Amino acid sequence: MLSGLLAYGVRILPGLLLIAACYLLARRERDPLLRVMVLVLGFVLIRDAMTPLGFWRLGAVGAVPWLRFTDHAGILLLFGLGTLALTAGVLRLDGELRALVRWGRLTPVTLAWGVGGGVLAAAPILLLSLPTPMAARGGAVAVTLLPVLLAFSLAGNLAEEVLFRGFLQGRLEQHNDAVRAAVLSALLFAACHAFLASTVTDVGWPLLAFTLYEGLICAFLRLRGGVIAAALAHGLAIFLLAGALV
C-alpha cells in the first residue's frame, strides 16, 4: 500500500506544483473564475492519476459504464480524508471562493432531495447492467468494505461538488440566469471527464453521457437544495455504482 501511495505522490507532485503556482499568481485577479478553473485542473489531475496505479478501474459493457475502487480500505480512507482536508483548506483560505458556495440547509427535505437524486443518477446504469454478469463489470465488492466505500464516496464527491456546483456554478450565476449557469456547470463537469474517457481509459462516450446526466441532476439539485443536496446525490450515486449492490 505504501509503495503505491508513494508512486502516486511522485506522479502528481510536478503537476500539483505548477497548478499551485498558477493559483497563487491568480489570487491577484479580480475575477475568481481563473482560480476556479485552476482548482478544477488540480482535481482532474488528482483523480485521473488514480487510474494507472489501480486505485480505481473503469470500463464499459457495450454502452453501459462500470467502476470499481481499490479494495484497500486504508487507501480509500486516506483519499477521503485528504480530499476533505484540501477542500476545507481552500474554503478557509479563499474567502472570495467561499462566498460563492450556496450550501443550503441541512434538513430532512434537503437530505431527501439528495438521496432521491443519487438513486435517480445511478438507477439507469444499474438497471442496464442487470443482464451482464458481475464478473464482466468489475467483480463483486466485499461487504466489509462498503462502509469505507460510502465514506470515501461522500467525501471525495463533496470536494467535486464544491468545485463545480459551489465555486463554478456560483460564479456563473453572477453573469447568467440560474438555469443557464446550471446547464453550463453540468457541461463543464462532463467535459472534465473527456481525458478520463478517451485517453486515460477507453470507456469512451458512455462515461461522458453518464457524467453529463449526473451533472445535470446535481446542478439542478444545487438550485433546489444547495451544495449539500448535490454532494449527497453525487456521493450516493458513485457508491451505488461502485458498491456492486446490484
pLDDT tens digits, one per residue of 186-225: 999 999 999 999 999 999 999 999 999 999 999 999 999 9
pLDDT tens digits, one per residue of 92-132: 999 999 999 999 999 999 999 999 999 999 999 999 999 99
Q: How far apart are CA 39 and CA 90, in angstroms?
A: 9
> Quick one: what percent of the chain has pLDDT higher than 70?
100
Q: How far apart are CA 52 and CA 49, in angstroms?
A: 6
Q: Is the pLDDT of residue 246 over 90?
A: no
Q: Global pTM?
A: 0.94
Which three three-digit cell numbers place residue 227? 451544495
pLDDT at site 160: 96
pLDDT tens digits, one per residue of 49-60: 999 989 999 999
pLDDT tens digits, one per residue of 6-46: 999 999 999 999 999 999 999 888 899 999 999 999 999 99
Q: What is the secondary structure of 182-207 as a DSSP string?
A: HHHHHHHHHHTTHHIIIII-S--HHH
Q: How far apart are CA 58 and CA 39, in angstroms?
A: 24
pLDDT at site 156: 92
* Rg of the chain over all Cα atoms, to the nearest angstrom: 17
Instruction: Give the CA diameter of the chain.
Output: 54
What is the rounded average pLDDT for all residues in the chain? 95
